[in-house]
Chains A and B, each alone.
Chain A
């Protein structure tokens, strides 16, 4: 399914092309932050172990180094990762999130630093209460740091190459043998219904068998009601096969 417009950022290019980017929900962002917090805890342990070597110079120096390194790590962790991984920390990568410029442009170093410095305010009074509230109120789901740095957090969709076979497998289509009826079907069909049928076909293996039978039964009923094909064209076709054939006929195959 395409993301609902309320949860996506629409960008119109100067060429007049509109595309949308799916915004990350506060829940996913909180989970990603949880992973990052665990990474920082692990980093703190490693820093403590690593600076023990400096105890040879004196316990005071080892304590000072631990404090400075931990402070630097807690501030710089997200900045470094978001810069080198183009908007992702370990937590964000795990949950498929990415920080981008709110205009869809490349993320700049100043934006990365600013949004992370402003965590100081978003974290207030505890557990990102200000940040979460801002996220829920903001139209683009921005915490105050995002607002100031002009960034948004997106949920990345995996790039899946289009599968022509999935759209129209190279098999004989009995409905296409009646081009005038296929053309009538094409002119009468509601594009939204075609979209639902295509999605249903793409996800068919994920449905429970009873739900699958019921869904394709309803879709086949809809297509049958639009145009009546001769008996020889539909003989022996199950509801699912009928829907697939109808979609292929609509797309000209």
Chain B
């Protein structure tokens, strides 16, 4: 049997046009609050068009007509079967609480990120203590190549406004730090898509650099300088990178899905909001860390006493811990 196409089109076109008009309105007004009657009508039109598509598939072979009805059905399907709530107005309170909640939901991944970084730290520490010449390989950054004693002397003598090496560059230095650190954190999160391998390497390498720098300065007797230099910004920056790593490991876990019965798409959908909250939270932390690094961390004794800088770093860390552990709990 072949469908009487012209009669079919003439009788059904009125419903197709009505559905198209409804879908166009939904596209133009995403927050349109439909009444029950309108929802019922949309559902009826969707079912009618679906039935038309089946009839066209079975009894007719008119490609353009089929494509037209198919596109209506596909658009209506997205509206009818969407069970996730529509994004309404942003509620800042809920938005801010979503970050610590997401962090707490995936504590295991955060612990693993910390463990990987600590393992890297231990490796970097022992590598530098055993072979100080490995410095050039482990931390190939010009600022860290020289001897700690020379650097401390230089930094402490540059403690007044006239000799300030960052004079006239503080804001741009801060911007550079923010953008670079956000890139590193986003990469740590995004690298989770390599089934976690990229994130693991990045976290471990970050730890290696941290451990190597610590071994270099603590070994030379400048532990206080190191703490005063790193803590003000590092108290926020290092956890932010760990959070990026946590996001990467959550992503990897959703991709791999060990022992889970849900499909990969369902697993990824389940963690998408948490990943978003973690990424935005870490980015906000890094904006703060960039400002502190440019305007506080680069100034040392006698201009800024180390004890003050260390106390500032400890306070930041305590505030961050309270925020991550307490905010958003019911």
A-B contact pairs, 6 of them (CB 8 A): A15-B47, A19-B73, A67-B175, A71-B178, A71-B182, A149-B268
Which residue from A63, A121, A157, A160 sits with its C-beta under 8 Å from B175? A63
Which residue from B4, B72, B175, B176 sits with its C-beta under 8 Å from A252? B4
When chains A and B are docked, how far (Å) is the Cα of A75 from the Cα of B276? 14
A139-173: CB near B (< 8 Å → 1, else 0) gives: 00000110111100000010111101001100000
Contact B179 A120 (CB under 8 A): no
Contact B70 A144 (CB under 8 A): no
A72-90: CB near B (< 8 Å → 1, else 0) gives: 0001000000000010000
B66-84: CB near A (< 8 Å → 1, else 0) gives: 1110111110011101101
When chains A and B are docked, how far (Å) is the Cα of A121 from the Cα of B70? 35
Verify if B269 is at the interface (C-beta below 8 Å from A): yes
Contact A113 B190 (CB under 8 A): no
Residues of chain A at interface, number, CB under 8 A: 67
Residues in chain A within 8 A of chain B (CB atoms): 1-2, 11, 13-15, 17-21, 58-61, 63-65, 67-68, 71, 75, 86, 100-106, 108-111, 113-114, 117-121, 144-145, 147-150, 157, 159-162, 164, 167-168, 186, 191-192, 194-195, 198-199, 202, 250-253
Contact B193 A113 (CB under 8 A): no
Verify if B147 is at the interface (C-beta below 8 Å from A): no
Inter-chain contacts of B72 with A (CB < 8 A)? 159
When chains A and B are docked, how far (Å) is the Cα of A118 from the Cα of B271? 15
Given contacts A102-B265, A109-B87, A253-B4, contact A162 B64 (CB under 8 A): yes
Contact B187 A121 (CB under 8 A): yes
Contact B53 A19 (CB under 8 A): yes
B254-269: CB near A (< 8 Å → 1, else 0) gives: 1100000000010011
Contact A121 B194 (CB under 8 A): yes
Closest 8 CB pairs of A and B: A64-B171, A195-B61, A64-B175, A110-B272, A252-B4, A63-B172, A67-B175, A17-B50
Contact B276 A168 (CB under 8 A): no
B157-176: CB near A (< 8 Å → 1, else 0) gives: 00000000000111110111
When chains A and B are docked, how far (Å) is the Cα of A198 from the Cα of B5? 12
List 9 extra interface pairs beyond A2-B66, A100-B78, A121-B187, CB under 8 A: A60-B170, A75-B186, A86-B27, A105-B82, A147-B193, A147-B268, A160-B67, A198-B63, A253-B4
Pick from A114, A159, A202 the residue with the most CB of B within 10 Å.
A114
Which residue from A58, A114, A164 sits with its C-beta under 8 Å from B6? A164
Nearest CB in chain B to that of A101: its residue: B78
- Closest chain-B Cβ to A183's Cβ sits at a distance in Å of 10
Inter-chain contacts of A63 with B (CB < 8 A)? 171-172, 175
Inter-chain contacts of A147 with B (CB < 8 A)? 193, 255, 268
Verify if B96 is at the interface (C-beta below 8 Å from A): no
Given contacts A110-B273, A160-B64, contact A104 B78 (CB under 8 A): yes
Contact B178 A68 (CB under 8 A): yes
Contact A198 B20 (CB under 8 A): no
Interface residues of B in 166-210 (CB under 8 A from A): 168-172, 174-176, 178-179, 182-183, 186-187, 189-194, 198
When chains A and B are docked, how far (Å) is the Cα of A120 from the Cα of B248? 12
Inter-chain contacts of B137 with A (CB < 8 A)? none
Contact B190 A121 (CB under 8 A): yes
When chains A and B are docked, how far (Å) is the Cα of A58 from the Cα of B4? 76
Contact A159 B172 (CB under 8 A): no
Verify if B9 is at the interface (C-beta below 8 Å from A): yes
Inter-chain contacts of A61 with B (CB < 8 A)? 171
When chains A and B are docked, how far (Å) is the Cα of A63 from the Cα of B72? 50
Inter-chain contacts of B113 with A (CB < 8 A)? none
Verify if B149 is at the interface (C-beta below 8 Å from A): no
Contact A194 B61 (CB under 8 A): yes
Verify if B241 is at the interface (C-beta below 8 Å from A): no
Inter-chain contacts of A106 with B (CB < 8 A)? 78-79, 82, 84
Contact A109 B73 (CB under 8 A): no
Nearest CB in chain B to that of A15: its residue: B50
Verify if B212 is at the interface (C-beta below 8 Å from A): no
Contact B179 A71 (CB under 8 A): yes
Inter-chain contacts of B63 with A (CB < 8 A)? 1-2, 195, 198-199
Nearest CB in chain B to that of A22: its residue: B67
Contact A13 B61 (CB under 8 A): no
Pick from B5, B54, B79, B265 the residue with the most CB of A within 10 Å.
B5
- Closest chain-A Cβ to B78's Cβ sits at a distance in Å of 5
Contact A121 B171 (CB under 8 A): no
Nearest CB in chain A to that of B168: its residue: A60
When chains A and B are docked, how far (Å) is the Cα of A253 from the Cα of B6? 8
- Closest chain-B Cβ to A52's Cβ sits at a distance in Å of 15
When chains A and B are docked, how far (Å) is the Cα of A117 from the Cα of B192? 12
